[in-house]
Amino acid sequence: MIDPFGRAISYLRVSVTDRCDFRCTYCMSEHMTFLPKRDLLTLEELDRLCTAFVRRGVRKLRLTGGEPLVRRGMMDLVRALGRHLDSSALDELTLTTNGSQLARFAGDLFAAGVRRINVSLDTLDPELFRRVTRWGDLDRVLAGIDAAQAAGLSVKINTVALRGTNEDELADMVQWAHGRGFDITFIETMPMGDIEGDRTDQYLPLSLVRARFSQRYRLDDIPHKTGGPARYVRAAETGGRIGFITPLTHNFCEGCNRVRLTCTGTLYMCLGQEDAADLRAPLRASTDDSLLDAAIDEAIARKPKGHDFVIARDRSQGAMPRHMSVTGG
């Protein structure tokens, strides 16, 4: 699949649910209204959609949410998709999680063919963790990370940089992650959805974070890639990698190789644009995939050059009205 700007689409991110057992302050409002369960694709339909993309050239699948591991029967989907690893049609099947369910599922994920996961973790301070996630338990997440590592999963930590919240802890999180053998990626808060607050108060440019890290570490640019938008450096003192995802200070659209599928079958060709394609209708219209394939081709032909994210006082509720949990975080 080649988009209008010559970019090969080889990476599909799939939100299996919009539900989450946390309510992170930069991601959701405290009192969320989630989609009715009847609107969600079945696990079998998600499998069929993912398989259509694999057949058309996708080499990497990332399962996301919401929190993917709270979806009932989730491991059935993971095991079903693992057959594409066995056939070599897929290079990687991976997962982004908040870690709350990892102690329960880490071994099953590895057995199904998952080898690498991303864990969202914004602080190592239990009290601050509770404030940021509203409902989360840090000890449970850390136990999940331990279980993942024991099961043989490679762990990367994702941390959202939040002004006035965790910014003084970010260098210490690098030290902790590298001490555990984990890569760590920092992410600028993205202007998506109503969060009951002003995003300009949260926004911390990663150019500033990197400058602060440079006072503690020698940072060397490296060409390491994981298929996503992060740009990586290596900290000479620890030997570990640090990634930066910068949708606002330096967008990453020129090399975009991905599209996002929601749990209702809506395909977003760009995280930061509202244009989308309904794949549920052609999926359910026929057991033959010709209508579905045609809808995918038409959608990829509309993929835009880049996003329009802006953080500003007059746009404090975000460039996108939908929440990240709906799109697939």
Was 163 annotated as part of a binding site?
no
Amino acid (1-letter code) at residue 171: A
Tokens for 261, please give them.
Answer: 């599928």
Predicted pLDDT at 12: 97
CA distance 265 to 188: 27
Was 258 annotated as part of a binding site?
yes
pLDDT grade for 47, boundaries at 50, 70 and 90: very high
Sequence-distant (≥ 6) Cβ neighbours of residue 230 within 8 angstroms: 185, 243, 244, 245
For 116-183, give the DSSP string.
EEEEE---S-HHHHHHHHSS--HHHHHHHHHHHHHHT-EEEEEEEEBTTTTTTTHHHHHHHHHHTT-E
Was 207 annotated as part of a binding site?
no
Predicted pLDDT at 33: 82
- Higher confidence at residue 247 or residue 299? 299
- Higher confidence at residue 275 or residue 126? 126
Predicted pLDDT at 205: 93
Was 50 annotated as part of a binding site?
no
Was 20 annotated as part of a binding site?
yes
pLDDT grade for 316, boundaries at 50, 70 and 90: very low
pLDDT tens digits for range 174-232: 999 999 999 999 999 876 455 455 556 788 999 999 999 999 999 999 999 877 788 99
CA distance 38 to 33: 14
CATH 3.20.20.70 fits 11-156+252-327, yes or no: yes
Predicted pLDDT at 305: 83
CB 92 within 8 A of CB 112: no
pLDDT grade for 308, boundaries at 50, 70 and 90: low
Predicted pLDDT at 313: 44
For 172-238, give the DSSP string.
HHHHHHHHTT-EEEEEEPP-BS--SS-GGGTB--HHHHHHHHTTTS-EEE-----SSS-EEEEETTT
Q: Tell me what the pLDDT averaged over the chain comes to.
A: 89
CA angle 197, 203, 207 (to 5 degrees): 175
Predicted pLDDT at 323: 52
Other CB atoms within 10 A of residue 198 CB? 12
Domain boundaries, the chain: 11-156+252-327
pLDDT grade for 26, boundaries at 50, 70 and 90: confident
Was 159 annotated as part of a binding site?
no
Was 66 annotated as part of a binding site?
yes
pLDDT tens digits for range 108-164: 999 999 999 999 999 999 999 999 999 899 999 999 999 999 999 999 999 999 999
Was 269 annotated as part of a binding site?
no
Tokens for 320, please give them.
Answer: 């996108």
Average pLDDT for 273-290: 94
CA 135 from centroid of its chain's CA atoms: 20
Was 120 annotated as part of a binding site?
yes
Q: Is the peptide bond before 227 cis (omega within 30 degrees of 0)?
A: no
Was 263 annotated as part of a binding site?
no
Predicted pLDDT at 277: 96
Predicted pLDDT at 311: 47
pLDDT tens digits for range 234-266: 999 999 999 999 876 555 577 788 999 999 999
Hunting for tokens 């880049």 — which residue is that?
306
pLDDT grade for 307, boundaries at 50, 70 and 90: low
Was 260 annotated as part of a binding site?
yes
Q: Is the pLDDT of residue 309 over 90?
A: no
pLDDT above 90 covers a percentage of the chain that reads 74
Sequence-distant (≥ 6) Cβ neighbours of residue 47 within 8 angstroms: 77, 80, 81
Was 326 annotated as part of a binding site?
no
